[in-house]
């Protein structure tokens, strides 16, 4: 029998329902393992043992009554950008140190209703801005496969937690790749749903038109389970779609007869590592052998995606982060008398350098006289990128590529060069600009580090992406493993 | 050298809704303890999202229809970014390039003021400064009860030519908002906030002068005074060889002057961009049609209907601006002829409405009918009206009880006429020698002797016969 910390959500659910283990025992085991390993990994910024035990007890009661769902009693880690009522939620930033939201994010509320047990808040790049978790103002999380390497970002703590067996699953957020890229670098399954498929209410916004909440799991089936629980319309999020996803239905449908698009531009991006390309090619062979038809497709505007993304996302963030002004909550420096001084000092000290850089980029891009040249043009590029995908999806059912051009890189190796860091998202941000569902599924290793396969599907076709990934799991025999920590 | 004043108005109107623009907080915040009508959404806490209040959109659309605007089929919200403590999100959700509606008009006593646009946004909170002045304040506080109240902005073209017109425009807008139930539009309560863009130019010049924007205006009176002051200030600057600088100026009520608040060089760059948290809003034509069908008769239409029915322009105007059109209609429906009913309304009811609720329209109709039929004379009518209004009793009952009914019977009238002639021989001889005013003294005698009940019209005929 697999160890508790290695088991998938599905396995744990069965064991809980068979009463082989109680939810309280499971929570305690999980908290104990976090206590043991987290001081080094720094995947969690804080644990929530009291909340976890309280929820675990309630879960045990539900299990005893026989009204447990698939997530009842399952330990979950929450990225520090999703508000949990009464629990310090900081977005990895000093400016929100000590902030305890009086409300739950909708995704958190839905997990609570489903009976999941929250074990803690995970580390991330400050306000989800970064690709390595090194922009966290609470120190970086480490990659469980190699502690000299980054776990990716921005949801690096969630990826590392699931990879290291510190939680059965985790929630993250993905604005340009922040679920899929760390999932790839840590060797776990990570999924960004269609924009609008999952509520953003209570997600501390980075870029509102791009942000989505999604799961990190150790199996594709688990990802579908979690998505089912957190997805669906939310009247408090006007951008959430009035529809319920059906992700479980076709999960085992296989890939026989499916057309998988291979975008040539995605295999020629700057900085793609040969080991990554080779692993992904082998994964495509596996899928072909399993009956998929590989078709060449083109996404001609790929090269402009990064530029468009790094205008739109900072523009939105410059406005979204204006509320952190030292007036209402969070960090406030009022040592100098004037209002302007309070603003300047609070924001200069409260925000880290990458956040300040993006606020400045975005403020500039929206400024009078520059708006047309930057923001408006970036929106036009976004439309072209969407059109690229629309055209590609006329020829295929899903698009497959590497998730990250590179495997987990050494800590500190890209921090001096923001552009090198931004290149980490080059294969993922197109999915955000076009609002597509996309996931990462582990597909072997290069240099002893995990490599991830990305599957993108048309809007609201999460079922197709999951079906392809599930078929890959089955055909390859490559199952997500807990890192040997 | 004569100067022409040119004024365009920007008026903010708080819309009447049960809840705020983007959250479910009650919008009934006036007079409530600070920060009691707030939630995570209107406090701008991290991660929260706005949801559009349909009732606010409908109020704005009704106003747009009443102002005869073209309503957009698609409209969207934008963020207006600036930092201020009473702006919790660091941006105001407003509308920039696709407002709810454009190109309307407001009729103003024979003049058309073009409306540029009507759009929807959210109100800000309020800063409260403890101390003598803003700069000397020891502490500042923020009350966010008002933050997120639905606010409509009505922008006019520079079509107004005097402070009186500007005031009339603001008053007409208030009347319109009240008529359609979109807002109470009480200026003193800040439910209607008028800003005037004022410039002057030499008569005959086609080009507009440099304008200043006047703020902090809290009453219709202040609006007129501020514009008057600003116009004379601009004229003296120009006549002194200087030039007006484009700026925002505040109205200092106590000193009666406008003062510079912010010059153009320091104008804020609001960095408008589309609000990503709200999808564009489609305004279906069927929705609009049903809103249009639900609108009451609008003031301009009411005024022309009343004029067409025979009322003078000034009476019609007065009735419409006092929002007494429906009342008049009800009195007419209860049997009163229009013109006399309108005169009674303007003369006797309207001046006392501040003190008490209007007399029921059917009661006014009873009195008007009685006077018109000659059963009561004017004085008696007024007396009955006062008493009926104060006591709430039936006018007929008062007439019967007080024996007020007018006497038109010739035999009784002839008796009083004879008594008057006998009592005032001097007046009789004066009248006979050509002094017309002596007739008045005799009529007064008839009135006295009849206890005010004589039908004075008939009595005067009988008196004239007797004296001829």
**DSSP result, B115-147:** EEEEEEEE---EEEEESSSTTT-SEEEEE-SST
Full residue range of the structural domain in which residue B363 is found:
297-402
Contacts B269 to A, Cβ<8 Å: 367-368
Assess contact for A273 and A423: CB atoms under 8 A. no
- Here the tokens at position B322 are 């006092």
Query: Residue B56: what pLDDT?
Result: 96
Instruction: Pick the last residue of a domain from B259, B290, B321.
Output: B290
Helices (H), B32-75: 54-66
Query: Residue B322: what pLDDT?
Result: 76
Instruction: Pick the last residue of a domain from B271, B290, B309.
Output: B290
Query: Residue B264: what pLDDT?
Result: 66
Please tell me whether residues B225 and B360 are part of one structural domain.
no
Instruction: Return the residue in A90, A93, A322 with the most chain B beta carbons within 10 A, the one to mutate for interface testing.
Output: A322
Rounded to whole angstroms, how far apart are CA atoms A234 and B153? 30
pLDDT tens, position by position, A44-55: 999 999 999 999
Please tell me whether residues B316 and B193 are part of one structural domain.
no
B269 touches chain A (CB under 8 A): yes
Residue A372: count of CB within 10 angstroms of its CB? 9
Please tell me whether residues B67 and B129 are part of one structural domain.
yes
In Å, how far are A268, A296, A315, B73, B438 from A395, measured between CA atoms?
Answer: 21, 9, 34, 35, 109
Cβ partners under 8 Å of residue B231, min gap 6 = B3, B5, B163, B198, B200
User: Torsions phi, psi of B58, nearest 5?
Assistant: -65, -40
- Cβ separation of A316 and B90 shorter than 8 Å? no
Rounded to whole angstroms, how far apart are CA atoms A236 and A85? 16
* Terminal Cα-to-Cα distance of chain B (whole angstroms): 64
b/e map B337-376, b = 16+ CB within 10 Å = ebbbbbebbbebbbeeeeeeebbbbebbbbbbbbbbeebb
Most confident of A213-217, A336-340, B209-213: A213-217
Rounded to whole angstroms, how far apart are CA atoms A347 and B275? 23
B455: CATH:
1.10.10.410
- Cβ separation of B88 and A235 shorter than 8 Å? no
Residue B310: count of CB within 10 angstroms of its CB? 12
Assess contact for A135 and A126: CB atoms under 8 A. yes
- Is-cis flag, bond preceding A480, omega within 30? no
Residue A259: count of CB within 10 angstroms of its CB? 15
Please tell me whether residues B65 and B122 are part of one structural domain.
yes
Please tell me whether residues B221 and B74 are part of one structural domain.
yes
- Mean pLDDT for A346-365 is 96
pLDDT tens, position by position, A147-175: 999 999 999 999 999 999 999 999 999 99
A367 touches chain B (CB under 8 A): yes
Q: Three-state SS for A401?
A: strand
Please tell me whether residues B352 and B414 are part of one structural domain.
no
The interface predicted TM-score of the complex, written ipTM, equals: 0.94
Please tell me whether residues B132 and B255 are part of one structural domain.
yes
- Every domain of chain A and the residues it spans: 4-257
Query: Residue B266: what pLDDT?
Result: 67
Q: How many residues comprise chain B?
A: 468
pLDDT tens, position by position, A441-470: 999 999 999 999 999 999 999 999 999 999
Query: Residue B179: what pLDDT?
Result: 86
- Cβ separation of B273 and A319 shorter than 8 Å? yes
Rounded to whole angstroms, how far apart are CA atoms B193 and B179? 18
pLDDT tens, position by position, A371-389: 999 999 999 999 999 999 9
Query: Per the CATH hierarchy, to which homologous superfamily does domain A4-257 belong?
Result: Amidase signature (AS) domain (3.90.1300.10)
- Here the tokens at position B165 are 């017109």
Instruction: Return the residue in B39, B42, B47, B54 with the most chain A beta carbons within 10 A, the one to mutate for interface testing.
Output: B47
Q: What is the largest CA-CA distance in chain B?
A: 97
B90 touches chain A (CB under 8 A): yes
Higher-confidence residue: A89 or B312? A89
Please tell me whether residues B110 and B209 are part of one structural domain.
yes
Please tell me whether residues B215 and B270 are part of one structural domain.
yes
Higher-confidence residue: B316 or A58? A58
Contacts B278 to A, Cβ<8 Å: 238-239
Rounded to whole angstroms, how far apart are CA atoms B227 and B242? 19
Query: Residue B370: what pLDDT?
Result: 83
Rounded to whole angstroms, how far apart are CA atoms A185 and A180? 9
Q: Which residues of A have a catalytic role annotated?
A: 79, 154, 178
Query: Residue A485: what pLDDT?
Result: 77
Query: Residue A296: what pLDDT?
Result: 97
Please tell me whether residues B183 and B241 are part of one structural domain.
yes
Query: Which secondary structure element, helix H or strand E, spans residue A294, and what is its range?
Result: strand A293-297
A200 touches chain B (CB under 8 A): yes
The yes-or-no verdict on residue A292 having pLDDT over 80 is yes
Pairing relationship of beta strands A117-122 and A44-47 according to DSSP bridges: antiparallel
Please tell me whether residues B305 and B164 are part of one structural domain.
no
- Here the tokens at position B336 are 């009163």
Contacts A237 to B, Cβ<8 Å: 49
Q: Three-state SS for B231?
A: helix
b/e map B148-181, b = 16+ CB within 10 Å = bbbbbbbbbebbbebbebbbbbbbbbbbbbbbbe
pLDDT tens, position by position, A293-302: 999 999 999 9
Q: Which of residues 61-100 of A touch B (CB under 8 A)?
A: 81-83, 89, 91, 96, 99
Please tell me whether residues B391 and B443 are part of one structural domain.
no
Contacts A102 to B, Cβ<8 Å: 40, 45
Give how many domains chain B has, as a whole number.
3
pLDDT tens, position by position, A27-37: 999 999 999 99
Per-residue pLDDT of chain B (468 residues; tens, 9 = 90+): 699 999 999 999 999 999 999 999 999 998 899 999 999 999 999 999 999 999 999 999 999 999 999 999 999 999 999 999 999 999 999 999 999 999 999 988 668 899 999 999 999 999 888 766 656 667 789 999 999 999 999 999 999 999 999 998 998 899 889 889 999 999 889 999 999 999 999 888 888 888 999 988 889 999 999 999 999 999 999 988 888 888 889 888 888 888 888 776 666 899 999 999 999 999 999 999 999 999 988 877 888 888 888 888 888 888 887 778 888 988 888 888 888 888 888 888 887 776 777 788 888 888 888 888 777 778 888 888 888 888 888 888 887 777 777 777 888 888 888 888 888 888 888 888 888 888 888 888 888 887 777 888 888 888 888 887
Mean pLDDT estimate for chain A: 95
Instruction: Pick the last residue of a domain from B402, B422, B439.
Output: B402
């Amino acid at each position: 029998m697999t160890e508790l910390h290695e088991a998938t959500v599905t396995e744990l659910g069965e064991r809980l329902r068979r009463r082989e283990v109680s939810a309280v025992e499971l929570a305690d085991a999980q908290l104990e393992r976090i206590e043991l390993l987290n001081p080094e990994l720094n995947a969690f910024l804080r644990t929530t043992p009291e909340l976890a035990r309280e929820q675990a007890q309630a879960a045990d009661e539900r299990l005893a009554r026989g009204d447990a769902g698939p997530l009842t009693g399952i330990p979950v880690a929450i990225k520090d950008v999703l508000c949990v009522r009464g629990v310090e939620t900081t977005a990895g930033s000093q400016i929100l140190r000590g902030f305890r939201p009086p409300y739950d994010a909708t995704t958190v509320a839905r997990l609570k209703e489903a009976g999941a047990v929250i074990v803690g808040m995970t580390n991330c790049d400050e306000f989800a801005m970064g690709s390595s978790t090194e922009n966290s103002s609470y120190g970086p999380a480490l990659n469980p496969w190699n502690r000299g390497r980054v776990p990716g970002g921005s949801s690096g703590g969630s990826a590392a937690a699931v990879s290291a067996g510190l939680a059965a699953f985790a929630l993250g957020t993905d604005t340009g790749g922040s679920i899929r890229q760390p999932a790839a670098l840590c060797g776990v399954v990570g999924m960004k749903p269609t924009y609008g498929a999952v509520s953003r209410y209570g997600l501390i916004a980075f870029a509102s038109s791009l942000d989505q909440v999604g799961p990190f799991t150790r199996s594709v089936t688990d990802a579908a389970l979690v998505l089912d629980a957190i997805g669906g319309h939310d009247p408090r999020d006007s951008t959430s779609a009035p529809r319920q996803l059906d992700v479980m239905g076709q999960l085992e449908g296989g890939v026989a007869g499916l057309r998988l698009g291979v975008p040539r531009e995605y295999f020629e991006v700057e900085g793609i590592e040969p080991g990554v390309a080779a692993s992904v090619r082998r994964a495509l062979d596996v899928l072909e052998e399993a009956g998929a038809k590989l078709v060449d497709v083109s996404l001609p505007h790929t090269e402009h995606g990064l530029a468009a993304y790094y205008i739109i996302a900072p523009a939105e963030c410059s406005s979204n982060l204006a509320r952190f002004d030292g007036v209402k909550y969070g960090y406030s420096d009022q040592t100098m008398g004037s209002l302007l001084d309070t603003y300047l000092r609070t924001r200069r000290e409260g925000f880290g350098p990458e956040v300040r850089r993006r606020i400045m980029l975005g403020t500039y891009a929206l400024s009078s006289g520059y708006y047309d040249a930057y923001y408006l043009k970036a929106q036009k590029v976004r439309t072209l990128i969407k059109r690229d995908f629309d055209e590609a999806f006329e020829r295929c059912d899903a698009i497959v590529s590497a998730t990250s051009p590179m495997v987990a890189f050494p800590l500190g190796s890209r921090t001096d060069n923001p552009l090198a860091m931004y290149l980490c998202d080059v294969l993922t941000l197109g999915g955000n600009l076009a609002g597509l569902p996309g996931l990462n599924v582990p597909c072997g290793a290069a240099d002893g580090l995990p490599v991830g396969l990305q599957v993108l599907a048309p809007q609201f076709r999460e079922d197709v992406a999951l079906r392809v990934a599930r078929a890959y799991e089955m055909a390859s025999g490559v199952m997500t493993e807990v890192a040997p920590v | 050298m004569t100067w022409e004043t040119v004024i365009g108005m920007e008026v903010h109107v708080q819309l009447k809704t049960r809840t705020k623009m983007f959250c479910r907080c009650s919008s009934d915040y006036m007079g409530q303890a600070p920060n009691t009508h707030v939630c995570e959404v209107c406090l701008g806490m991290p991660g929260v999202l706005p949801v559009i209040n349909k009732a606010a959109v409908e109020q704005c659309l009704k106003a747009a229809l009443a102002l005869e605007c073209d309503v957009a089929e698609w409209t969207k919200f934008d963020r207006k970014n600036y930092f201020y403590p009473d702006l919790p999100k660091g941006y105001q959700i407003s509308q920039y390039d696709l407002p709810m509606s454009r190109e309307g008009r407001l009729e103003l006593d024979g003049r058309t003021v073009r409306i540029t646009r009507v759009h929807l946004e959210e109100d800000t909170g309020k800063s409260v400064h403890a101390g003598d002045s803003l700069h000397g304040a020891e502490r500042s506080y923020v009350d966010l009860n008002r933050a997120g109240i639905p606010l409509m902005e009505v922008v006019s073209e520079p079509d107004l030519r005097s402070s009186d017109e500007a005031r009339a425009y603001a008053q007409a807008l208030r009347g319109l908002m009240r008529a359609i139930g979109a807002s109470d539009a009480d200026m003193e309560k800040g439910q209607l906030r008028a800003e005037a863009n004022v410039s002057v130019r030499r008569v005959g010049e086609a080009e507009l002068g440099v304008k200043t924007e006047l703020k902090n205006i809290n009453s219709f009176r202040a609006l007129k005074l501020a514009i008057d002051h600003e116009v004379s200030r601009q004229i003296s600057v120009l006549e002194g060889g200087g030039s007006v600088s484009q700026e925002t100026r505040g109205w200092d009520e106590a000193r009666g002057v406008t003062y510079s608040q912010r010059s153009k060089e320091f104008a804020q760059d609001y960095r408008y961009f589309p609000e990503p948290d709200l999808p564009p809003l489609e305004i279906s034509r069927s929705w609009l049609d049903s809103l249009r069908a639900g609108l009451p008769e609008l003031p301009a239409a009411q005024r022309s209907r009343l004029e067409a029915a025979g009322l003078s322009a000034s009476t019609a105007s007065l009735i419409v601006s006092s929002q007494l059109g429906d009342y008049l209609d009800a009195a007419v429906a209860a049997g009163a002829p229009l013109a006399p009913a309108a005169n009674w309304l303007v003369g006797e009811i309207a001046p006392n409405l501040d003190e008490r609720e209007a007399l029921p329209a059917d009661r006014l109709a009873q009195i008007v009918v009685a006077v018109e039929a000659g059963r009561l004379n004017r004085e008696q009518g007024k007396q009955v009206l006062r008493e009926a209004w104060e006591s709430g009793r039936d006018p007929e009952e008062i007439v019967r009880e007080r024996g007020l009914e007018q006497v038109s019977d010739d035999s009784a009238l002839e008796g009083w006429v004879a008594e008057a002639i006998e009592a005032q021989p001097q007046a009789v001889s004066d009248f006979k020698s050509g002094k017309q005013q002596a007739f008045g003294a005799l009529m007064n005698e008839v009135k006295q002797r009849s206890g005010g009940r004589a039908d004075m019209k008939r009595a005067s005929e009988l008196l004239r016969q007797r004296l001829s």
